[in-house]
Amino acid sequence: MKRLLTVVLSALTFFPLLSSVQAKGNENNNPTAISNQPNFVPGELLVQFRANSVDEDENRVLGKIRGEVLERIRTHLMISEGRGNLLRVRFQPDLSQHVAIRLLKDDSIVEFAEPNWIYTHQATSNDTYYTNGSLWGMYGNDATPPVNGFGSQADEAWAAGCTGSNSVYVGIIDEGIQFNHPDLIANVWTNSFDPVDGIDNDGNGKIDDIHGWDFAGNNRTIYDGGLQGLVDSHATHVAGTIAGKGGNNKGVAGVNWNTTYISAKFLGQNGGTTANAIKAVDYITDLKTRHGLNIVATNNSWGGGGFSQALLDAINRGGDAGILFIAAASNGGADGVGDNNDTTPNYPSNYQCTSNGKDYDCVIAVAAIASDGSRASFSNYGATTVDLGAPGSGIWSAVPYNKYSSFSGTSMATPHVTGAAALYASRNPGATAAQIKAAILEKTIPTASLAGKAVTGGRLNVGEFCQ
């Protein structure tokens, strides 16, 4: 039911930018099912060897494709799990990708071989864009204007004194984030395990990862900015919806006024790869399993690749650690019209996270609705593969250079749900991932445009979390 990897801003159909993101795929994780024209890195494969393999065996197998090892992906979690080497390999150009994969999979020491897919981007507030009527995704049905019954009802939670807690953490797997934005600086994670001193104090292979890590550039700089803020605008916008500081008389307010976000940047201007997505997912999981951070969810407003067993393995490791993987259902194909993820799987939203005997699926797939309650025309849907809808059209949030802008896409709907997960966790300390997911889905509001188009047939209802 869920799938993954080349990130292209595909969960976004934003204004002024255009982008897209994806979410759930099919019911059975069929490795042969391919989403709408997925892209991959030409000439590269990800090769997972079995745990009992040795260098001599691996060299022999790679000789079949005259393969060159570009990278050994060995995260702490892979090592502790006892997995064999996962290699990013370049094969010879006279071989087709299909032939190279077949030659490798025919050998008993190879667990799987697959493309390196490319993904792209998918209290009462006194904050400016809330009071002027722009921030409709946070509104509810209460008597105090501004009012919009198709919003997330977050303002009803705020009115009940439910504004989040900085002891609850979320990971944002995406582009980078302008963490010093006036509406974001208060809630960015600061790594106490690895102070800035040029030493890898926490032993995770990342030196001075003070606010997170850039896996695309392999450095600690999570914000690159760029001309007119076009670089890292997507994730900055996502962060503002999850954790924009509310009640500060400026800008926007996130679903949580108080929650701690961690940046795991793997998307760049040209998207991101499966290899880097795996490292980003494991980075967040490692922070929870080794350091005990109360990470309840990751936001994944991206998609575009085909099925990846390696990525699904990483998502499962997060699910085993109690981390929800909240993903954009994507924005349709080249025609800009939403597709049915039940029949045309979208990854990573179509993945099912049910390894190691888990009694829950850690993936939540999110569609986008407009301010009139209609399903956004660009939004993918799926009666069995998309869980719920959330505000995703004309969503105002933070963008680089201390500015604000309106974007549209399933990329914008997804952080409303991620914020909801963190808000529920702040109100219900000790709640498991399964309980948080169940609460989100059980409290949805039935919505005509989502009937037969989503598992719940409804839209996000944050207001019920703090009753």
Condensed to tens digits (0 to 9), the pLDDT of residues 261-292 reads: 999 999 988 899 999 999 999 999 999 999 99
Q: What is the mean pLDDT of the chain?
A: 87
**Rounded percentage of the chain residues whose pLDDT exceeds 70:** 86
**Those residues with Cβ within 8 angstroms of residue 404's Cβ, 6 or more apart along the chain or in another chain:** 129, 240, 251, 252, 396, 397, 398
Distance CA 175, CA 173 (A): 7
Give yes or no for residue 371 having a pLDDT over 60. Answer: yes
Q: Is 291 a catalytic residue?
A: no
State the maximum Cα–Cα separation within the chain, in Å, rounded to a whole number: 71
Give me the residues paired with residue 7 across strands. 120, 272
Q: Among this protein's residues, is 200 annotated catalytic? A: no
* Domain 39-117 is found in CATH 3.30.70.60: yes
Look at residue 465 in the predicted model and tell me its pLDDT.
77
What's the distance, CA 304 to chain centroid? 13
Average pLDDT of the segment spanning 326-339: 89
**Would you list the domain boundaries of the chain?**
7-28+121-466, 39-117
- 174, 214, 232, 387: which is the annotated catalytic residue? 174
Q: Return the higher-pLDDT residue of 27 and 105.
A: 105
**Would you say residue 38 has pLDDT above 80?**
no
- Which comes out higher in pLDDT, residue 37 or 246? 246
Beta bridge mates, 38: none
User: With bands split at pLDDT 50, 70 and 90, how would you rate the model's confidence at 250?
Assistant: confident
The yes-or-no verdict on residue 29 having pLDDT over 80 is no
State pLDDT tens for residues 185-243.
Answer: 999 999 999 999 999 999 999 999 999 999 999 999 999 887 666 789 999 999 999 99
Nearest-CA neighbor of 264 among 362, 171, 168? 171
> What pLDDT does 213 receive?
98
pLDDT at 467: 63
Looking at 228-237, 239-248, 320-329, which range is the least confident one?
Answer: 228-237
User: 39-117: same fold as 7-28+121-466?
Assistant: no
Check pLDDT > 90 for residue 336.
Answer: no
Helix axes 309-320, 274-291, angle to 10 degrees: 20
Check residue 457 and report its DSSP letter: S
CATH code of the domain occupying 7-28+121-466: 3.40.50.200
Q: Which entry of 53, 152, 411, 449 is annotated as an active-site residue?
A: 411
What is the CA 189 to chain-centroid distance, rounded?
17
Rg (CA), the chain: 21
Does the active-site annotation cover 174?
A: yes
Which pair of tokens denotes residue 130?
């809330």
Q: Mean pLDDT, to the nearest integer, of 62-81?
A: 94
Match 């702040």 to its residue by tokens.
Answer: 426
